Amino acid sequence: MSDLMAPFHEAVADPHGWLSKYKKQAGVKICGYFCDYVPEEILKAAGYTTVRIMGGKGEVTVADKYLQSNVCSFARRCLEQGMLGVFDYLDGVVIPHTCDVINKMNDLWAYRMKTPAFVHYFWVPHKVFHESASAVMEAEIQRMIQAVESSSEVKITDDAIREAIELFNRSRSLLDRVYQFRRSPPPRINGVDAYAVALSSLIVPKEIHNQWMERLIEGLGETESSSGKDRPRILISASVLDDLELMTAVEKSGAWVVADDICTSTRYFTDMVDNSDSAPIKALARRYLNKKPCPRSVGSYQPRLDHILKLASDYKVDGVIFYILRCCDGHLYQYPVLNERLRKEGYKTLYIQGDHGIGITDGISNRIHAFTEILLP
Amino acid sequence: MRSEEDKSRMRGKKHLQTTREISKIVEQYYAERSESGKKQGQKVAWCGIAVPKQPLQAMDVLAYYPEQYGTVVATRGDPHRFLKQAEAYGLSPEMCGYARITIGYILEGLPEDAPMGGMSRPDMLLVTTAVCDTRVKWWELMGQLLNVPVYVMEFPDLPPIGRNGAQVGQAELGTSGHQVTRADMPYLGQYALSHYQGLIKFLEEVCGKPMDQAKLLQSSKSSGGVGKVRREINEYRKAIPTPMGSADAFAAMFPGQYMPGSEVANDFYNRLRAEVRERMDKKVGIVPEEKFRLLWSGIPFWYNMGLLNYFEKKGGVVVIDTQYGCSALSTGNPNRDPKKWGMNAYVGTVMKALVDYNCDGAILSYTPTCRALYINQMEIKNTLMEELGAPALLLESDMVDPSSFSEAQTMMRVDAFIELVTEKASKRNWKPSMVQSPF
């Protein structure tokens, strides 16, 4: 099993090194994007390899002059890395209007940074579930197509978009199948490994990553569910989480991470694009508007609650950890109501305030340990 | 708890006769609402600051503005009473101070002994997506706590095209930098319009009656008239010495911001215009001799408006403030306009106001709990220095939570800044922009 997991962990351990090497070997263009509302399929249809912009761990020094301490620590780390040249292998970046801070990330990236040459702003409606949103989302996708075509000098055809949808849907479906191996008590794949699979899907080109996942699924299918003692089963609800520290801390405490509501995981891959639709742009607009929502979206509370409750029931969850980055307003406003409701449903919960650059401190680990102890039968 | 002496020092002093009436206007506003709110039939709405006022006036909806009420609590009450409630509920101290006050007020059950009688229980909540995302989440949470319908009006707020930053004109000054549409995104204008129409439909449903189109037209005309007078007043503020500074202007924004189509607003601004014009003609300034002129960007610290007067004691004036619109009759100064206006129109409007109003430097209120504004402030500071060589001072504090204000540290920095800006002003190498006569 460790052999099958090795490539996923390698990509997660050094995403920039992995992509730089791949770019050199394969001679491809790479386009970065923020958040999970950018239709990557368009970029893929133009021949780009897509990569989610991630913050990584470390200090903020050069970016502090532009984005100061009381702003999302994830965004600060992204800008820091951008200014230090960590993303120099990118040929383009697409920045959506998801929240205020990511919106300003576009302003800063466009105005203050020299690279990459192609910076595209993608406007996403707040009222994603409203009937008026489809037309404007379709228009934004069309505008993105024009911008990408003009920058890459590649004509994006409907057939190429359909092919990309097929590839990305396959990835979504495989990711879901990997996650399903955690339903059994005890799970056939632990939370750290499962999350490494999800995270690496944001880095590694889908055609390669899908092959890795197919091999892994075959391996997992042959594995017997271990008969060892089961542990408390935990669901993690978080904003953005781009490494394995939290999952590791939870599993070290003696619990399993069996499910999550995270934008670099299930909120990213759960919903499929309807590729039977004769108009692929319409289908993409529908999927990205109706996917498991980020709390920034209007009307996102109920779908988020439904998503969490369904996962909690399907994966027999005992407790929920909310890991919310300081200053992440969308999550902070929804947390009290969501927490109250989950407690009413009988789930124990733990709130952890995170700092993206610092990660999991000893203090946080101790609180996770105490929480796991509470969940023990 | 602050002493009575501290409170008195922190209270702002107004220089104009007309602006001294504002307290009464605000009191009257809340008294009328408190009375009407108890009447059967009239619908009550709690509104975000950018919600169009005219449809509400035309439908005879009683509007409250929780952000404005946050300032009332901060200036006339004990903000901690409600802030504590919100924190106990699970809202972090790093979240918007206005939001925490309102949520705390709701959690306390809309108590009658709240400052100025509080806000009447709403039948609906209205908000736009302009300025910040926070407000949308805040309104949704209020909707859940109060169990009333929420209408969110989409109001796109776009960055400039390309990578050269903002192009700023008169329109951006009037809207404090919001750009609803763009040449390459014309559909967003139509989209915003459809949401305005959605607001009308929502109001009709909640109020159970059709929109009174004649009243809507009338209200729009009156609001437009008030807007013109406010721009004329701003034009006079360019004069050296300035006849009105921000210590008066922050108070004077209330009728224009919250009751623009009303007779009260109309009458107030006409009288204010006359007073400002007379002071300008007679060269009556805020201080005997202006040693430096400043701009204020961002939300003021409502519990410490006396800070604005402090600059006057040192021989300078905060001439203009950009938070609630700073458009005058004319804009631009070919002797001083920079090559670039900054990363977006929020930065650009401050830059332009600094030039238009002949200022030497800027005070940037740095309210960490207001993410949307806070993010721009550092860029404003950087761009003012890079493009105009103008110094700026970042003052960090929450807009309604006095415990976040460190007086000793702040005043030390203010004094150092005053020295710097006074020196800078004594060596001005630019010609001031002139006041344009409306006649």
Beta bridge partners of A351: A322
Q: Under an 8 A CB cutoff, do A70 and B374 touch?
A: yes
Q: Under an 8 A CB cutoff, do B89 and A336 touch?
A: yes
Residue B5 has pLDDT above 80, yes or no: no
Residue A57, token pair as written in the block: 């761990």
**What angle in degrees, to the nearest 10, is found between the helix axes of A100-112 and B371-383?**
20
Is there a contact between A94 and A124 (Cβ–Cβ < 8 Å)?
no
Q: What is the ipTM of this complex?
A: 0.94
Query: What are the chain B neighbours of A114 within 8 Å (beta carbons)?
Result: none
DSSP type of residue B334? T
pLDDT at B373: 79
User: Between B133, B140, B376, which is nearest A99 by CB?
Assistant: B133
Nearest in space to A31 (alpha carbons), one of A122, A93, A99, A115: A93
B11 residue type, one letter: R
> pTM to 2 decimals?
0.94
Is there a contact between B311 and B418 (Cβ–Cβ < 8 Å)?
yes
pLDDT at A323: 97
pLDDT at B131: 80
Residue A224 has pLDDT above 70, yes or no: no
Residue B2 has pLDDT above 80, yes or no: no
Structure confidence at residue B8 as a pLDDT band (50, 70, 90): low
Helix, strand, or coil (residue A368): helix
Looking at per-residue pLDDT, the higher value among A305 and A226 belongs to A305
Q: Under an 8 A CB cutoff, do A143 and B185 touch?
A: yes
The winner for highest mean pLDDT among A303-307, B173-177, B327-331, B345-349 is A303-307
DSSP type of residue B115? G
Span B145-161, average pLDDT: 95
Query: What are the chain B neighbours of A132 within 8 Å (beta carbons)?
Result: 154, 191, 194-195, 198
Nearest CA in chain A to B194: A132
Residue B78, token pair as written in the block: 């004990």
Averaged pLDDT of chain A: 95
pLDDT digits (tens, 9 = 90+) for A59-75: 999 999 998 888 899 99
pLDDT at B212: 93
Nearest CA in chain A to B190: A136
User: Between A65, A69, A329, which is nearest B134 by CB?
Assistant: A329
User: Between B133, B165, B371, which is nearest A327 by CB?
Assistant: B371
User: Between A295, A301, A329, which is nearest B95 by CB?
Assistant: A329
Q: Which residues contact B124 (CB under 8 A, 6 or more apart)?
A: B43, B44, B45, B46, B148, B149, B150, B151, B202, B203, B206
Query: What are the chain A neighbours of B375 within 8 Å (beta carbons)?
Result: 67, 71, 100-101, 104
C-alpha to C-alpha distance for B395 and B90, rounded to whole angstroms = 27
Q: Which residues contact A137 (CB under 8 A, 6 or more apart)?
A: A124, A125, A285, A288, A289
pLDDT at B260: 83
Structure confidence at residue A215 as a pLDDT band (50, 70, 90): very high
Q: Under an 8 A CB cutoff, do B152 and A298 touch?
A: yes
Instruction: Calculate Rg over the CA atoms of chain B.
Output: 21
Helix, strand, or coil (residue A203): coil
pLDDT at B126: 98
pLDDT digits (tens, 9 = 90+) for B262-290: 899 999 999 999 999 999 999 999 999 99
C-alpha to C-alpha distance for B37 and B112, rounded to whole angstroms = 12
Mutate to test the interface with A, among B87, B89, B92, B376 (most CBs of A within 10 A): B92
Query: What are the chain A neighbours of B133 within 8 Å (beta carbons)?
Result: 99-100, 126, 296, 329-330
Helix, strand, or coil (residue A123): strand
Averaged pLDDT of chain B: 91
Structure confidence at residue B89 as a pLDDT band (50, 70, 90): very high
Structure confidence at residue B74 as a pLDDT band (50, 70, 90): confident
Looking at per-residue pLDDT, the higher value among B438 and B387 belongs to B387
Span A36-60, average pLDDT: 97
pLDDT at A223: 74
pLDDT at A227: 54
Residue B238 has pLDDT above 70, yes or no: yes
Q: Under an 8 A CB cutoff, do B133 and A126 touch?
A: yes
Q: Under an 8 A CB cutoff, do B144 and A301 touch?
A: yes
Is there a contact between B172 and B350 (Cβ–Cβ < 8 Å)?
no
User: Between B92, B165, B379, which is nearest A66 by CB?
Assistant: B379
pLDDT at A228: 60
pLDDT at B397: 79
Q: Under an 8 A CB cutoff, do B137 and A295 touch?
A: yes
Q: Under an 8 A CB cutoff, do B375 and A100 touch?
A: yes
- From the CA of B266, how many Å to the nearest CA of chain A? 35
* First-to-last C-alpha distance (Å) of chain A: 30
- From the CA of B143, how many Å to the nearest CA of chain A? 11
Instruction: Calculate Rg over the CA atoms of chain A.
Output: 20
Nearest in space to A339 (alpha carbons), one of B148, B97, B91, B125: B91
Query: What are the chain A neighbours of B144 within 8 Å (beta carbons)?
Result: 301, 337
- From the CA of B308, how many Å to the nearest CA of chain A? 25
Nearest CA in chain B to A76: B375
Q: Which residues contact B11 (CB under 8 A, 6 or more apart)?
A: B305, B306
pLDDT digits (tens, 9 = 90+) for A19-31: 999 999 999 999 9
pLDDT digits (tens, 9 = 90+) for B171-221: 777 777 778 889 999 999 999 999 999 999 999 999 999 999 999 999 888
Nearest CA in chain A to B103: A333
Residue B378 has pLDDT above 60, yes or no: yes
Residue B6 has pLDDT above 80, yes or no: no
Nearest CA in chain A to B378: A66
User: Between A107, A143, A332, which is nearest B92 by CB?
Assistant: A332
C-alpha to C-alpha distance for B160 and B171, rounded to whole angstroms = 14
User: Between B132, B343, B378, which is nearest A68 by CB?
Assistant: B378
User: Between B89, B96, B136, which is nearest A126 by CB?
Assistant: B136
Q: Under an 8 A CB cutoff, do B133 and A353 touch?
A: no
Give the DSSP letter string of A288-355: HHHSSPPTTSTT-HHHHHHHHHHHHHHTT--EEEEEEETT-HHHHHHHHHHHHHHHHTT-EEEEEEE-
pLDDT at B357: 97
